[in-house]
Amino acid sequence: MHIWNRMTIFPKLVFTFLIVIIPLVTICLLINFRSERLVRQEITRSMQDKVSYYMHALEFDFGSLVKLQQQYVSDDDIMNLAYASIILSNEEYTQTIKNIQKKLLIMENMNAFVKDAFVNIPALDRKVSAYDYDPIAPGEAAAFNRIVDPSGSPFVFYEGSLWLIHPYPETPPVGKGFTLGLEISGPELKQSLAGFLLNGEGGAMLADDAFHWSETGGRIPVDTASIQDLIKQRVGEGKTSGYEVIPGKRTDYYAFYEKSAPLGLTLSIVVDERSFIGPIRQYTAWLWWIAIASVLIVLLFSHRLYRIIHTPLRRLVTAFRKVEIGDLSARLSDGSKDEFNYLFLQFNKMIGRLQELIDEVYVQKYQVKVAELKQLQSQINPHFLYNSFFILHRLAKLREHDKVIDFSKYLGDYFKYVTKNADFVRLEQEVSFCKSYVAIQSIRFETHIQVEIGEMPERLRELRVPKLFLQPLLENCYNHGLEDCVTGGMIRMRFADGGDCLVITVEDNGTEMTGEKLAAISAILAGPDRMSDSEGLRNVQQRLKLNYGENAGLTAKASELGGLLMTVTISAQKENDHAPTDYRGQ
């Protein structure tokens, strides 16, 4: 299940379709294999029955010849020629031979297997056939005159031919009177064997028990000697009929055999397995092709279905990713009327509604932050007010009229700037205000504290900055860093152009900065809600964060002068709309 959950849609589709297709194809293949086995059994049984039938047909044909020979043994003409030829006149002798030849011709024409019918008469040393009257060939008497075994084969194999012999008498001296003989036609036998074949394929073989003689019909597809050895071995084991499977390089071969005890012959038919299993094998091949085609169809169909599902999903995911990065302009359209078109329409409605909600929330947050800025700004203004009146009171009491005049002028410039109805001013205006503030403090501290304000980067003089964000830093130096300074106090303000940002540093040589003090100041800057005496720093930090985002603000560290070094970082982009970075672009 874990693997399934990790799969994408495409392999899930393929796997699902294969689960449906594979069992169907498997069932078809199993049915085909079972059918092949049944057909093989039926065909082998049928072939074995055919071999038995052919052998019985041969037994009938050759058996009728044997019976005819037995009838001719007692023929008067043959008896007279064999035993009474010496008392026959020439005319009777000739007539007897002609009568015998007519009978032999009848015997020859009765069966197509008979090539020649003859009678060997040893007393006359003559061989009478249907058309000839010749001397007995040397060796024939010895080959043909043998004791006949009623339970054995009636055939004699001589000079490569098959002979059906019946000597008279059958007991010694065998053939002393005469020998009736039939020569079996090899071509006719070969043609008959070829007619036994299934669809004319394979080969048939007729052989004696010892396989000294054999005749074949058709074409035996395997080595004849190996067939003979195998069948001879099976017959020797007492198996008079059956079949053997002979493995081949490309296919198997079936050798069906049947032994005839009366004839002493064995009929064998060897066929290629493809001749009767071929059609089923072809169906099996087609089934495999169908299985392969089914898999390909599953892949193509799954791919098509995957594209139908995946393409709209990919468009939808791409649109969601745009929304994720803040791009609410993503819209989806589809010309079809399917379910994905409904999803696209709902997505567009959702984005439209989301845009409306974001606009509402942004306006609300903007109004809240403006109110917070106004509140923070209003908190900064009173910090300096009560101190200024104490100084003015002291100067008037000491009757230092010139300083009162200067102080009141600086104080007027100060409050004119503070009460100015603007949230953002140019950088040079903010720095000019800081100089007025320093002038007021110089009257207060006289020569005890020196202040250095560096030059502003020329290109950033017109940069719009929050009003009253530098004065609290100077005020912090006076009130905390140099609070106990009697003489030699130093405050230094520097400006640096950071390219896309403005960096301002304010440092003093006041109280030595320890790790605990730096940690306390950093805690004030990090937690805007933390209550402390450094309200000015906290307010400035909040205002910078609200206007420029989290990348802007104050950082504190120890100064090389010995006191505290405050660093201000704000955006230097002139097109800055002074909206917080977190909401810019919504």
454: confidence class by pLDDT, cuts 50, 70, 90: very high
Q: What is the pLDDT averaged over residues 337-351?
A: 81
C-alpha to C-alpha distance for 138 and 46, rounded to whole angstroms:
47
For residue 356, how many other CB atoms are within 10 A of its CB? Answer: 10
427: confidence class by pLDDT, cuts 50, 70, 90: very high
For residue 437, how many other CB atoms are within 10 A of its CB? Answer: 23
Q: What is the pLDDT averaged over residues 415-436?
A: 87
Which pTM does this prediction carry?
A: 0.48
C-alpha to C-alpha distance for 149 and 156, rounded to whole angstroms:
12
Question: In this structure, are residues 446 and 423 in contact, taking their beta carbons and an 8 Å threshold?
Answer: no
The reported pLDDT for the residue numbered 151 is 61
374: confidence class by pLDDT, cuts 50, 70, 90: low
pLDDT tens digit string along 256-267? 899 888 888 889
User: How is domain 357-571 classified at the CATH fold level?
Assistant: Heat Shock Protein 90 (3.30.565)
Q: Which helix (H) or strand (E) holds 350?
A: helix 339-397
506: confidence class by pLDDT, cuts 50, 70, 90: very high
The residue with greater pLDDT, 14 or 104, is 104
Angle at 346 between CA 343 and CA 352, to 5 degrees: 140
The reported pLDDT for the residue numbered 370 is 64
The reported pLDDT for the residue numbered 581 is 40
Q: Is the pLDDT of residue 504 over 90?
A: yes
For residue 438, how many other CB atoms are within 10 A of its CB? Answer: 20
Q: Is the pLDDT of residue 38 over 80?
A: yes
For residue 542, how many other CB atoms are within 10 A of its CB? Answer: 19
What is the token pair recorded at 462?
């017109």
Sheet strands (E) in 332-381:
none
pLDDT tens digit string along 66-124? 888 888 888 888 888 888 888 888 899 899 999 999 998 988 888 888 888 999 888 88
Strand 114-121 versus strand 464-466 pairing type: unpaired
Helix, strand, coil percentages for the chain (3-state, nearest 5): 55, 20, 25
Q: What is the pLDDT averaged over residues 418-423?
A: 79
- Residue 357's SS3 state is helix
580: confidence class by pLDDT, cuts 50, 70, 90: very low
**Per-range mean pLDDT, top range of 103-107, 372-376, 413-417:** 103-107
What is the token pair recorded at 578?
């002074």
**Residue ranges covered by each domain of the chain:** 28-274, 357-571
State how far the alpha carbon of 70 is from the alpha carbons of 49, 199, 571, in Å.
31, 38, 135
Q: What is the pLDDT averaged over residues 377-405?
A: 74
Question: In this structure, are residues 513 and 559 in contact, taking their beta carbons and an 8 Å threshold?
Answer: yes
C-alpha to C-alpha distance for 50 and 256, rounded to whole angstroms:
9
C-alpha to C-alpha distance for 386 and 442, rounded to whole angstroms:
17
pLDDT tens digit string along 274-323? 776 667 777 777 778 888 888 888 788 777 777 777 778 888 888 888 88
**Per-range mean pLDDT, top range of 168-182, 354-368, 402-416, 462-476:** 462-476
Please report which residue ranges of 145-273 form alpha helices under DSSP H. Answer: 186-194, 224-236
State how far the alpha carbon of 267 is from the alpha carbons of 54, 158, 196, 575, in Å.
8, 20, 10, 111
Place of tokens 């110089």: 442
Strand 155-158 versus strand 241-247 pairing type: unpaired
Q: Which residues of 391-401 are buried (b: 16+ CB within 10 A; e: fewer)?
A: bbeebeeeeee
Task: Report whether the peptide linkage leading into residue 122 is cis, meaning its omega lies within 30 degrees of zero.
Answer: no
Q: What is the pLDDT averaged over residues 182-192?
A: 87
Place of tokens 């989290």: 550
376: confidence class by pLDDT, cuts 50, 70, 90: low
C-alpha to C-alpha distance for 480 and 518, rounded to whole angstroms:
13
585: confidence class by pLDDT, cuts 50, 70, 90: very low
Long-range pairs, 405-409, Cβ under 8 A, ≥24: 406/439, 406/443, 407/440, 407/443
Q: What is the pLDDT averaged over residues 543-565?
A: 88
Question: In this structure, are residues 155 and 162 in contact, taking their beta carbons and an 8 Å threshold?
Answer: yes
463: confidence class by pLDDT, cuts 50, 70, 90: very high
Residues 6+ apart with CB under 8 A from 584: 549, 577
The residue with greater pLDDT, 110 or 174, is 110
Task: Report whether the peptide linkage leading into residue 173 is cis, meaning its omega lies within 30 degrees of zero.
Answer: yes
